[in-house]
Amino acid sequence: MADSAAMFGPPLFWARVSPGLPSVAAACSRVPKSGQGLPFTPRAALRRASLWPEASPWPEHFRFNGIVGLRARTGPTRDGVPGPRYLGGCLVRMAVGWFYLSVLALCSLGSICILSTIYWMRYWHGGFAWDGSILMFNWHPVLMVTSMVVLYSAASLVYRLPQSWVGPRLPWKSGHAAMHLLAFLLTVLGLHAVFEFHNHAKIPHLYSLHSWLGITTIFLFACQWFLGFSVFLLPWASMWLRSLLKPIHVFFGASILSLAIASVVSGINEKLFFSLKNGTKSYSNLPSEAVFANCAGMLVVVFGLLVLYILLASSWKRPEPGMQAEREALLRGGE
């Protein structure tokens, strides 16, 4: 212990992971001099981490919220020793890089989900039309996957963009609301397609579990959008009311996406049961259409889980007002 203290010196800083993650204090040390071991790395610091009480006597050089929210109290580096702000900037860039990599993967996966649904309807079910026939019904799964899964997810992830951490919130709120409104309009078109087909074919409405899930999801989506527009976008609501309703808004946002995924999966299953009835191509024999549609459904599930993970990851959330200035400085390359 004495040799270690002589080599590394007193702790340089300690950090506490914010609510949502386990409370951990990482005690880090100065970079060792030449010949005294490996230079400082975050992983090495975590290996030397120890738990500190909230009323710790050690100086609070900085804390970080998740990965990217920093509060620095030290100046620039001295004698080649990277200070907490330098380390924080590295962690910010690391988090931003991982975020954009995840967004790229989500864009690719969402596009595959939409194209797979279009291919399924076009190759096995004759394509599309808008005349009340079965070809009009084929628009229903395409529009629902596009609107309630992919576009809804994109709108929900607006506040995770690092650019939204700086500057006024109004442009991001407007974009968030506009993308959700576009998703809702496409959802209404998808509903119209299936209801028009049912009217033309004399099929009862809203009798299956899939239809109940879908209508519940769309109803909650409409209420969610109206609440968000009237409370968070319009300027009349007080900060107290917004603070009260924000957790509810966030909870129902993730819940609606989960219900949408469940509706899509149950809809794919129902469509396969209806279209694969004869003995030569029954669903239980797993023909090529069933394999393709099942894979498309699994892609939708994976896409939804990745979106939910990004939404719930504390390190990618928009900072609280008290941490805004620190993130702006780090994102703009401050010392």
Question: pLDDT of 285-295, one tens digit each?
Answer: 899 999 999 99
Asked if residue 220 has pLDDT above 80, the reply is yes
Q: Which residues contact 26 (CB under 8 A, 6 or more apart)?
A: 14, 15, 45, 46, 48, 49
Average pLDDT of the residues of the chain: 76
Question: What is the SS3 assignment for 70?
Answer: strand
Averaged pLDDT, 49-56: 36
The residue with greater pLDDT, 313 or 179, is 179
The vertex-117 CA angle with 116 and 122, nearest 5°, equals: 100
pLDDT, tens digit, 9 for 90 and up, residues 112-135:
999 999 999 999 999 999 999 999
Residue type for 42, please? P
The reported pTM is 0.71
pLDDT of residue 162: 79
Number of alpha carbons in the 13 Å side-chain half-sphere of residue 243: 5
CA distance 318 to 180: 19
Q: Are 189 and 145 in contact, with CB atoms under 8 Å apart?
A: no
Domain 97-318 sits in CATH 3.40.50.2020? no
Overall size of the chain counted in residues: 335
Asked if residue 104 has pLDDT above 80, the reply is yes
DSSP annotation string for 230-293: IIIISTTS-HHHHHHHHHHHHHHHHHHHHHHHHHHHHHHHHHHHHH--SGGG-GGG--HHHHHH
